[in-house]
Chains A and B, each alone.
Chain A
Amino acid sequence: MNFMPSNKSIEIFCGTGGVGKTTLATSRAAFLAENGKKVLLVTIDPARRLKQILHLTEEDAGDVKLIDLKTIHPEFGDGQFSALLMNPSRTLRRLGELSNTTKELENKIIKILSRPHGGMNEILATIEVQFQLESKQYDTIVLDTPPGKHFLDFLEASGKIKNFFDASFIEIFKYLGKNFESTPSKAKKIMGLIVSSGVKKLLSYLEKVTGPDFVHLFVDAIVALYKNKEYFLKALAFQQGLSQRQTSNWILVTSAEQSKVHEAEELQHSAKSFLHDDNFLAVNKCLEEYLNQWNTNENVTLSNVKVTMLERENRLKLMAKRNFKNSLFFPEVLGPTPEEHVLTLSRAWSKN
C-alpha cells in the first residue's frame, strides 16, 4: 500500500454523498494538525451533529474558526486546525468589497442564485478556496467538495463558463448602453455576430417570456458579474493548479456499505482530466475485518449472509485495484457519536 503524501497545499475530497466524506475530511484535517501542520478545513454543508463537534453554527458560516483537537475528543494530542463553513453570499460580499461592486452585487437575481442551494455554489466555493490559498496562512487546505460528481462537472465546464464572459456579451451591453471597461476581443466569432445582430430580437423574446422587469434585473446582474470577470476567470484557472501533482492530492471517497462500485467508477471517469498520480480511492466503512472473524458454524442462512456481504466488499476492492493506483481502506466505526468516528478515522490515516 502506498502512503498518502502530506506535503500538498490542497487535498480534495470528492464523493457521492452519504459515504462519510465530510467526516473523513475532518479526520484528515485532525490528523495533519496533530502532526504539526497548519490546516484549514473548508466544508460545504455538514450535518448538524458534525457542525456541533466542530463548534460551527449557521451564523459562523463564512468565518474561519479555530478548533482545538482536544475539544473534539480528549484522546487527541495537542493541536488545532481552522475550519470554514462555506457561505456563498459571504464570498460574494467579499468579492464586492474587493472589486468595488458591492452595490451592483446587491442585485435580486444574484442574491437568489447565491443562496445555499441557488446554483452558484460551486463557482463561489472555488473562489473562496482561491482566496484562502492566496492568504498563504496554511500548509494544507482540506476541501470537502459538494457531494456528487457535480463539482467535477463544474471544473470541466470551465470552457463553457468562459463563454459567459465572451465577446457576444459585450455586444449586448453596447446595445443597451451600459458602461464597460473591458474592450471586446478582436476576433468575433460567428456566433457572436449572430447574437449581436439579433440582440434586439433576443431581448424582446426574453421580455415576452419573463416580463420586462426581469430583463432589466438580468442585464444588471450580468453587468455586476461581468465587472467581477477577473475573479471568476481566476477561479477557473485555479483548476490548473489542482491538476498538478505537486499541488494536490485527490481523494475519491466511497463506502463499502453501499453498492457504490458503479458510482465510484463514474466519478473516476469524470475526474480523469484532473487526476494525476497522487489520486486515492478511499473505501470507507469496511466490514471485512469483522466479517473474516465471523464464525457462522453450521448456520446456512447466516453463512449465506456472510458470503453475500463479503462478496459486496470484494467487488469494490477489485474495482479499486483495477482502476486506482492507490486505495485506502477505513474500517466501519460501530460507535454512535461523530466524535468517535473522527478520532478512529484520524488514527487510520497514519496506517494509510
Chain B
Amino acid sequence: MLGQKRIYIFTGKGGVGKTTLSLALTKHLADSGKKVLFCEFDQQSVKPLAQKLNIPYLNLEINSSAEEYVGNKLGSKTVAHWIMKTPFFSALFKMVPGLANMILLGHMIDMLLHDEDLTIVLDSPSSGHALTMLESPFNFKEMFGSGIIVNDIERMEKFIKKEDGFLISVISLPSLMAVTEAKELQSGITKLGYKNTQVIANDLYGLTSDIKDNFNALPEFMKMKIDLEKEVIKNLDTTTSMEVAHIFDNEMENVVNVLAPIMGGKI
C-alpha cells in the first residue's frame, strides 16, 4: 500500500517504468482533485506528454535552483548570481554532483513545507544516482559540520524522517537478479533513515487478464516467463512491495491512462 504521503519518489534502473508509473500516479492524484506536481530530476524529457495528459508539471533546473538557494541564504540574488558564475563554483558543481542533488531535494522540501496541501511526485534518476541524491543531505552534513547549510540539512532530515513525508519506490522488472538488486537498494535507502520504502515488481505478464484467461493456450516460452515471474513474487516481502501488471500497448500515453486508476487503487 502506498498510503498518503507528501512526496513520492520513483527510482530503479533505466527502462523499468519509472516515468510511466510516476506519471500514472500523478494523473490519478490530479484527476481526484489533489494539488500535485510531477517533477523530473533536472531534465524535461516528458514535458510535452505530461501536458497532453493534463498532468501539472514542475520545472526544476539545477543551476537556477542552486542560485535561488544560495541567494536565499545570503539574502542577495545578485551576489548568488555572481558566485554561481565563477569558475570556482561551476567547477565545484561539476566535481560534486551530490551538492546539486541536495539543493534540488532541499528545494522540493521547502516547497512542501510552504504549502501544506501540495504533493510532489518525483521521477528520480536511476538507481545509483538516486542514492547519490538521497545520501546527499547526510554526506554534506558530515562535511560542513556547522553553518547555515547544516541548519538547513537538519530541517531536511526532520522532514525525511516524518511518517507521512517520503515514500520511495524502487521499481524493478520481474527477474530474480533485478529484484535482488532492487531489494539491496531499498535496504540501502532505509538505512539512510527514510521511513517508507517499497519494491515494485513491474511489467508482470501473468497479472493481465489477457494472459490469465488464456493461460492454457500460451506457448512454452510465455509459460516459462510467467513461471519466472512467480519465483520473483515468492521472493518479495508482501508488506514492503507491490506488483503491477504489464500493459500490452506500445503507446506510453495509453499505458499511463490505463495505469492511473490502478496506481490510485494502491494508495
Give residues in A with beta carbon < 8 Å to B. 15-19, 45, 47-50, 108-109, 112-113, 115, 117-121, 123, 146-148, 150, 157, 160-161, 163-164, 166, 168-169, 172, 191-192, 194-195, 198, 202, 205, 207-214, 217, 255, 257-260, 262-263, 287, 290, 293-297, 299, 301-302, 304-305, 308-309, 311-312, 315, 334, 336, 338
Contact = CB atoms under 8 A, between A and B. Distances in A.
A205 B74 contact: yes
B231 A336 contact: yes
Majority-rule SS of B interface residues:
helix
Given A48-B180, A112-B143, A262-B45, 4 more contacts: A160-B91, A195-B86, A211-B150, A214-B143
Given A191-B87, A195-B87, A211 B145 contact: yes
A290 B14 contact: no
6 contacts: A113-B95, A147-B126, A161-B91, A168-B88, A208-B147, A211-B150
Nearest to B46: A262
A150 B150 CA distance: 28
Q: Which 5 A-B pairs have the closest CB atoms?
A: A18-B13, A16-B14, A211-B147, A258-B15, A211-B146
Nearest to B101: A119
Contacts of B228: 334, 336
B84 to A, nearest CB: 11
Contacts of A113: 95-96, 98
A161 B210 CA distance: 53
Nearest to A146: B128
B131 A202 contact: no
Interface in B41-74: 45, 70, 73-74
Given A258-B173, A301-B214, A308-B250, A334 B221 contact: yes
Contacts of B90: 160, 163
Contact of B15 (A16, A48, A295): A16
B87 A118 contact: no
Given A148-B14, A209-B73, A211-B150, A17 B127 contact: yes
A153 B132 CA distance: 16
A57 to B, nearest CB: 14
Contact of A211 (B13, B99, B144): B144
A118 B139 contact: yes
B180 A49 contact: yes
A88 B150 CA distance: 26
Interface string B140-152: 0011111111100
B163 interface: no
Interface string B168-207: 0000010011101100100000000000000000010000
A118 to B, nearest CB: 7
B214 A299 contact: yes
Contacts of A47: 177-178, 180-181, 184
Interface centre among B12, B88, B177, B250 (most CB of A within 10 A): B88
Contacts of A160: 90-91, 94
B97 interface: yes
A130 to B, nearest CB: 18
A287 B74 CA distance: 57
